[in-house]
């Protein structure tokens, strides 16, 4: 099996495994996000519910970015011929970036929830997470090229 096919196979296997693993913790992650966002906005919260501007919002499993994190981590850990220390360091960095962006995304959605077309606003703002994960993956490749771990073909 050539390297590209092996990489893709590793990537898809890791994507499934990491996503299934994260899926088991989505409600706990949603509750943690609720605590963080409730504290930042200085508003009341309980479990995965926030009360903001007189409205109740639920931070649901889909709000946790578990798929985007799984996509990001799969890409990093499937990268061949890369020392594990680089993978771990960059994974921690990327998870922080994705989660900080996600927290800002949720806050921005809450701050604009009073607008007439909430669903459209929610969907547009939510789209930002996927490009963030993809951008992190491009940065990963650039770092590996720069330090000489991978060579440009």
49-52/45-46 β-pairing: antiparallel
Which of 14, 63, 78, 106 does the annotation list as catalytic? Answer: 63
Which of 37, 70, 71, 105 does the annotation list as catalytic? Answer: 105
How are strands ordered across the β-sheet holding 49-52? Answer: 45-46, 49-52, 55-58
In the annotation, is 63 catalytic?
yes
Look-up: residue for tokens 């649901």? 60
In Å, how far are 34, 74, 92 from 49, measured between CA atoms? 7, 31, 27
In the annotation, is 65 catalytic?
no
| Strands annotated E in 93-137 | none
Residue partners of 15: CB distance under 8 A and separation at least 6: 70, 71, 74
Residues recognised as catalytic? 63, 105
């Amino acid at each position: 099996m050539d390297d590209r096919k092996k990489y893709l196979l590793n990537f898809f296997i890791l994507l499934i495994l990491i996503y299934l693993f994260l899926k088991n913790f989505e409600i706990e992650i949603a509750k943690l996000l609720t605590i963080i966002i409730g504290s930042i906005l200085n508003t009341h919260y309980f479990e995965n519910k926030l009360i903001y501007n007189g409205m109740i919002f639920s931070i649901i499993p889909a709000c946790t970015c578990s798929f985007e994190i799984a996509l990001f981590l799969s890409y990093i850990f499937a990268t061949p011929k890369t020392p594990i220390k680089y993978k771990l360091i960059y994974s921690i960095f990327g998870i922080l970036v994705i989660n900080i962006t996600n927290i800002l995304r949720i806050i921005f959605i809450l701050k604009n929830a009073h607008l007439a077309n909430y669903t459209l606003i929610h969907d547009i703002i939510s789209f930002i997470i996927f490009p963030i994960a993809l951008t992190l993956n491009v940065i990963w490749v650039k770092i590996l090229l720069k330090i000489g771990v991978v060579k440009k073909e």
